[in-house]
Amino acid sequence: MKSVRNSESAASEVRTHPSFDAELRKFAKRNPVDAERLLKGLRRFVEAGVGDIERIRDTQILQRLKVSRELPRVYLARKGGITYLLGIEKRKIAYASRILEKMEKRAKESGQT
């Protein structure tokens, strides 16, 4: 796994979009072992600012966190020291335009643009 740590990675505050919570619960119900791995990676990101994070091209504010090659991608947006966890999506469709549009809409709902 590619690990990145910089001052931008660590967040002083993390907030979740309601849809993120629902998607995570649904994923955990279907795949409890993978959900635990995903949560472990999220904890590492939140607590230490470590993770494979990349800005998504052709979007205003979206970034994605990849915990593992096999696991879903986590979408996030950052503003003013606050990291907003917006949603998770299967890696095979994570970069489809309809998914990116959905995540950008969630970022706007969270006051990110």
Amino acid making up residue 29: K
CA atoms of 65 and 24, how far apart (whole Å) = 14
Q: Residue 4's pLDDT is what?
A: 41
Q: Residue 61's pLDDT is what?
A: 86
Q: Residue 79's pLDDT is what?
A: 85
pTM recorded for the entire structure: 0.84
- What is the Rg, in whole angstroms, of the alpha carbon atoms belonging to the chain? 13
Q: Residue 7's pLDDT is what?
A: 44
Q: Mean pLDDT in runs of 10 for the chain (113 residues)?
A: 44 86 96 96 90 88 92 92 92 92 91 65
Q: Residue 6's pLDDT is what?
A: 40
Domains of the chain: 11-109 (3.30.2310.20)
Exposure of 65 by Cβ count < 10 A (0-12 exposed, 13-18 middle, 19+ buried)?
A: buried
